[in-house]
Each structure stands twice: as C-alpha cells, then as structure tokens.
C-alpha cells in the first residue's frame, strides 16, 4: 500500500494528539516527560503538534512511560 503525504501528515497529527491526551491524563509536564523518556523536550513538543515524524523506538518508549499500548497512540 502506498501512503500519500496527506495520510502520513494526518497520522502524525493523530499520534501527537493521543500522546498529549495520555500525557495529560498522567499529569506529566512536557519537561518531566522529556526527562523520563530521554527525548528532547522540543522534539516531544513537535511530536505532539504532529510536525515531526516519530521513530518506532521513540513511540515504544513513549507508550511505556504513558503505560498504554502503542496501538492507543496510533489511533
């Protein structure tokens, strides 16, 4: 299956929205979330805004910290 640029952009938006939602549920500031994940705070912010592509290892790390399945972040 070939994914269009639009579809990938939409997927990044959905993932970012879900990360922000679950981070809020756990009452984690972006700074604390960055410290726990070892991912730069500005990079995490860009993920949440849907502006950066997220690597699989980063997504797995984020899911573990948020205590959710990766599928919950993907949509």
**Other Cβ atoms within 10 Å of 4 Cβ, number:** 8
> CATH number of the domain that 15 lies in?
1.10.260.40
**Which token pair is 73?**
């972040």
* pLDDT, averaged in runs of 10, over the chain (75 residues): 81 96 97 97 96 95 97 93
Q: Is residue 65 within 8 Å of residue 54, measured between CB atoms?
A: no
pTM value is: 0.90
> How many domains, the chain?
1
Q: Residue 13 belongs to what domain range?
A: 5-74
């Amino acid at each position: 299956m070939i994914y269009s640029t639009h579809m990938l952009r939409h997927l990044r938006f959905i993932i970012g929205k879900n990360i922000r939602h679950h981070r809020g549920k756990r009452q984690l500031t972006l700074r604390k979330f960055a410290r726990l994940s070892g991912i730069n705070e500005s990079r995490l912010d860009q993920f949440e805004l849907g502006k950066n592509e997220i690597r699989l290892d980063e997504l797995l790390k984020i899911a573990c910290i948020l205590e959710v399945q990766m599928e919950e972040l993907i949509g």
